[in-house]
Chains A and B, each alone.
Chain A
Amino acid sequence: MLKASAAAGVVTMLTSRKTLAQSLPPIPTQPPDCAAPAPTNSPATTPFVQALPIPPVAIPTILNPFPTLAADTANGEAARANHQDWFQFFPLLQYNVSVQPTMHQFHPQIPPTYCWGYNGIYPGPTFLNIYGVPVVVRFHNNLPVDNIGFGDNNHTTHLHNGHTASESDGFAGDYWSPGLFKDHHYPNVYAGFNEFPPLGDQLEAQHTYWYHDHRHSFTATNNYRGINGMYLIYDDIDTGFEFPGQGPQALRLPGPYGIYDIPLNFTDKLFCANGEMFATAPDAVPGGTDKFCVNGAIQPYFNVQTRKYRFRFLNSGPARIWTFNLSDNNGNPVPMTVVTTDGNLLPSPVEVISTSSVPTLTGLTVYVSQRYDVIIDFTNATPGTSWYLTNVAAQFVGNAPEPEPAPGVNIGNVVMAFNITGPPPSPDQSQVPEVLTTLPNISKPMANLFGTRVWNFNDDVVGAEGDPANPTGKVFNVNGLTFDPNRADATVQQGSSETWLIRNRFPGTGWTHPVHIHLEEGRVLDRRNITVNPTTGVITINSQGVPPLEQGRRDVYPILPNDEVLIFLQFRDWFGKYMIHCHNLGHEDGLMLVRWDVTTGPSSTVTSPVYSDGTPNTGNGQVNSGAQPNITPALTALAPTFNLNPPGTSKLNRPGLKGSKKGVKA
């Protein structure tokens, strides 16, 4: 039955749906920006009057001209290096995406807003993919040549955190101008495919990605305009379906996409009375605004049945840190079960609830660009009532006074409502296994570490050049340097592994930096907090271990003021330029980015050695002057304390499934 539908589906997909994919909305002319006078709040909107929009699925097509190994510059492709491993992972599917202006209505009470979006929609279409089916996506830059105000019409797309070769990674300096296109090769393989051919190590599976504009200096404004969307990859473990009979390996989490597997793209915006988005300056977006948007709708509702759902939380920025709580119709806290962190399955599900006694599990805090797949169980909810997802940061919404929708639930904090409609038409067959995955065994690379590389994320006023009396002037910098797309601050040898110490400035000015590393996901080995004794002045580094939600693999590592995090990284599959950067989009545009390269080696023993004009970087922005953020000896002494898996094969070694038991409580 499935096979028959699959065969028929190929025809359907390539014919009738092709026309669907090509019917892009008309390109509107740009209305004037509303930079002056600055609105203090957006127009009032009534909550829960519009249904949650579900982004449509991206539809494959046949590209013309046909994609090529080398950049097809004669036909308008932007310059790039040849695709690495193009023939090994020859794309089986091709997608055509237009990055273009569009009008999008965020709420019925706010006039349509001039946006930029993938295929002219916001959020962009969701890509549904399978590990082992390589694809190529052609991104056409159809942004206006004469744009006014915020946003830049040069564009590059980063698949976050796609396991992609450098030329398809959307490196921040590799943007292309309107009228050109670029083919990004997404092989949809697990990390480590050289070591574990042909597809890589399945334990490195990552499932929830998002793709977004990464043009440096304008990432915040271009994302605020709307250039982002989601990209999901399934495999035979996370299949996207919940029905039985998929084999014992299948997790059977709630699905499929769009029905019980729902993306939630959170952002916040400030609107002027004419519906235009407000930017604080023509190159800056507001850091905290008054309209909570989910999938491009202000305070929407979502009709749910009394069963389990999988929600894919994404904080698409630009700067807000969300802390989510779930309340039922009586205002009582309801637990949410986290199954993936940044798209990577956790070893076991972790429950978060607003009243947790464990501080790190009190509410679900989502930093910019982090993703969490969350199972919410509405089985015991009362039909006809509503549950509320709230952001606990107090917020002025600009509404006429509204009654509390549930006791103790402030309407100003409500992000969206779940309206309980009734029982599902067929029984809920989904389950949340107690064991989701095992982590890759890293004892061998940990024993062969090249060393520990230190990255200081500074927001200094003084001292970034090593001399506390010497004002740097630079606000956002890494190791005292700002971004130059042509300068690599570190090179690592392909196949090597390192631990990286990512450190917020001490004493910090209060900023949190969600640090993102391209290419491979990392393992958090330790979190530490730096304190100083006010009387003696002695600096102490206090280890805090690994919090429950960082027990799995991550690609975004938030560092709070005075915090540092030690992570383990491998660089296995591709050569070329990658980045480590703060994913607060404003900080990123303030040049808090670093380019590092994977090369044939050897790895650099000095990090951030020179300014981009060749001047030696004497102090490197190290916290304590004198110490250098260079490679330090491997932390082998610490290794036994890490929770390393016993040596074994790369094959998934998971005990039998245990029915639909809820997750562990940490």
Chain B
Amino acid sequence: MNRRDFFTCHVADKSRPAASLGPGYYSNGVFRTHENKPVRFYDDLIKGKISIINFMYASCDKYCPRSIACLTKLQDLLGDHLGRDMFMYSFTLKPDEDTPAKLAAYAKGNGARPGWLFLTGSEYDLTSIRFKLFRLDDPLLDFSVDIHASMLRIINDNNSRWTSWVLPDPPRLIREAVSWVEPTKPFAVRVRENAELQAAIDKESVISAPKRAEFKRAHGWPEITAKYENPDGMKKLQTLFHAGA
């Protein structure tokens, strides 16, 4: 921990959510956005928000383009949450190459909307949060730059719920993962969604009983019409209960 962390991490901050892990956990290093604005990691990026965090670098041409394209589509699925209570942060893995100006061009080229920030900073601060958020306890992977082009961390500071996903999976899946850290929906809403899910299951090609019977006949398996009766089974179970319970 450097001197800045020591001071910023231990200052009591009444404005942060009660369940938050706070700057002592997340660290509070200063990064610079693609708009060339300085921001503190916890205070400005994490506190009270849902954050969707990944690592990238502008010159990455193998895996990153698909990952970034996926995030571009995710913006639409986040709707007006983006920039209000949900934010997307793409940190560079190569701070030497990626200046704010270069990141600004990259953001523009990928159609980033307000609420999606591309950030650079000191190697120390970037590595610190990379290890804090994406550590696998495997040196080969933890120090690999490429591996981090696909990892996505989703954090809600208000209830300290985290989850993760990998890129470039469909944005639909990532949007669903974001919903897991959101506050649980009201019961009435969940009951309605459950009914909708049931309707979808019923509509799907569920294999009907007659079709199953036909399939069994095709295999030459005997058809079972009567319920299986097991007069002795219950008696055996009784003795088990008496001995074990």
Name 23 A/B residue pairs within 8 A (Cβ), A-sorted. A3-B235, A5-B238, A10-B234, A17-B245, A59-B245, A76-B191, A79-B201, A89-B228, A128-B241, A131-B233, A133-B234, A149-B19, A149-B159, A150-B162, A180-B194, A217-B163, A240-B240, A256-B240, A258-B244, A282-B160, A287-B137, A600-B211, A611-B170
> In chain B between 179 and 237, which residues have their CB closer than 8 angstroms to a CB of chain A?
180, 183-185, 187, 190-191, 194-195, 197-198, 200-201, 206-207, 211-212, 215-216, 219, 221-222, 224, 227-228, 230, 232-237
A15 part of interface (Cβ distance < 8 Å): no
Say whether A473 contacts B233, CB under 8 Å.
no
Say whether B138 contacts A510, CB under 8 Å.
yes
The answer to whether residues A9 and B241 also contact, given A149-B161, A612-B170 and a CB cut-off of 8 A, is yes
Say whether A473 contacts B238, CB under 8 Å.
no
Say whether A148 contacts B160, CB under 8 Å.
yes
Interface size on B, residues (CB 8 A): 77
Say whether A36 contacts B21, CB under 8 Å.
yes
Which of B96-104, B105-113, B140-148 lies at the interface with chain A?
A: B140-148
Which residues of chain B are near A445, meaning CB under 8 Å? Answer: none
Say whether A475 contacts B151, CB under 8 Å.
yes
Beta-carbon nearest neighbor of B60 in chain A: A471
- Pick the contact of B187: A179, A234, A510 (CB < 8 A): A179
> In chain A between 64 and 118, which residues have their CB closer than 8 angstroms to a CB of chain B?
71, 73, 76, 78-82, 84, 87-90, 92-93
Q: Contact string, B109-149, partner A, CB cutoff 8 A, digits 1/0?
A: 00000000000000000000000010111101100101111
Which residues of chain A are near B169, meaning CB under 8 Å? Answer: 482, 484, 611-613
Nearest CB on A from B22, distance (A): 7
Query: What 5 pairs across the A-B complex have the smallest Cβ distances?
Result: A473-B150, A471-B146, A256-B243, A257-B244, A79-B198
Identify whether the interface residues of A are mostly helix, strand, loop, or mixed.
loop
A35 part of interface (Cβ distance < 8 Å): yes
- Pick the contact of A130: B140, B191, B198, B240 (CB < 8 A): B240
Which residues of chain B are near A10, meaning CB under 8 Å? Answer: 234, 238
Say whether B241 contacts A57, CB under 8 Å.
yes
Beta-carbon nearest neighbor of B180 in chain A: A152
Say whether A129 contacts B237, CB under 8 Å.
yes
Nearest CB on B from A72, distance (A): 10
Which of A190-198, A406-414, A624-632 lies at the interface with chain B?
A: A190-198
B38 part of interface (Cβ distance < 8 Å): no
A76 to B195, alpha carbons, bound, how many Å? 10
A304 part of interface (Cβ distance < 8 Å): no
The answer to whether residues A148 and B230 also contact, given A129-B237, A153-B184 and a CB cut-off of 8 A, is no
Which residues of chain A are near B133, meaning CB under 8 Å? Answer: 281
Nearest CB on A from B179, distance (A): 10
Say whether A92 contacts B170, CB under 8 Å.
no
Say whether A145 contacts B184, CB under 8 Å.
yes
The answer to whether residues A79 and B207 also contact, given A146-B184, A283-B164 and a CB cut-off of 8 A, is no
A199 part of interface (Cβ distance < 8 Å): yes
Which residues of chain A are near B200, meaning CB under 8 Å? Answer: 79
- Pick the contact of B238: A9, A84, A146, A240 (CB < 8 A): A9
Say whether A461 contacts B147, CB under 8 Å.
yes
B50 part of interface (Cβ distance < 8 Å): no
Say whether A84 contacts B244, CB under 8 Å.
no
Q: Contact string, A176-210, partner B, CB cutoff 8 A, digits 1/0?
A: 11111000000000000011011100000000000
Say whether B147 contacts A475, CB under 8 Å.
yes
Range of interface residues on chain A? Answer: 35 or more
B92 part of interface (Cβ distance < 8 Å): no
Say whether A2 contacts B235, CB under 8 Å.
yes
Which residues of chain B are near A236, meaning CB under 8 Å? Answer: 236
B7 part of interface (Cβ distance < 8 Å): no
The answer to whether residues A283 and B163 also contact, given A178-B184, A600-B211 and a CB cut-off of 8 A, is yes
The answer to whether residues A461 and B221 also contact, given A9-B238, A471-B149, A473-B146 and a CB cut-off of 8 A, is no
Interface contacts beyond A59-B245, A473-B147, A473-B166: sample of 13 additional A-B pairs, CB < 8 Å, sorted by A: A81-B206, A89-B227, A92-B230, A130-B236, A130-B240, A154-B180, A180-B191, A258-B244, A258-B245, A261-B244, A475-B166, A495-B221, A600-B215
The answer to whether residues A484 and B170 also contact, given A462-B146, A471-B149 and a CB cut-off of 8 A, is yes
A33 part of interface (Cβ distance < 8 Å): yes
Nearest CB on B from A257, distance (A): 4
The answer to whether residues A461 and B140 also contact, given A9-B241, A57-B245, A82-B206 and a CB cut-off of 8 A, is yes
Which residues of chain B are near A459, meaning CB under 8 Å? Answer: 141
A131 to B230, alpha carbons, bound, how many Å? 9
Which residues of chain B are near A153, meaning CB under 8 Å? Answer: 184
Beta-carbon nearest neighbor of B150 in chain A: A473
Say whether A128 contacts B62, CB under 8 Å.
no
A500 part of interface (Cβ distance < 8 Å): no
Which residues of chain A are near B198, meaning CB under 8 Å? Answer: 71, 73, 79-80
A534 part of interface (Cβ distance < 8 Å): no
B242 part of interface (Cβ distance < 8 Å): yes
Nearest CB on B from A549, distance (A): 28
Say whether B240 contacts A78, CB under 8 Å.
no
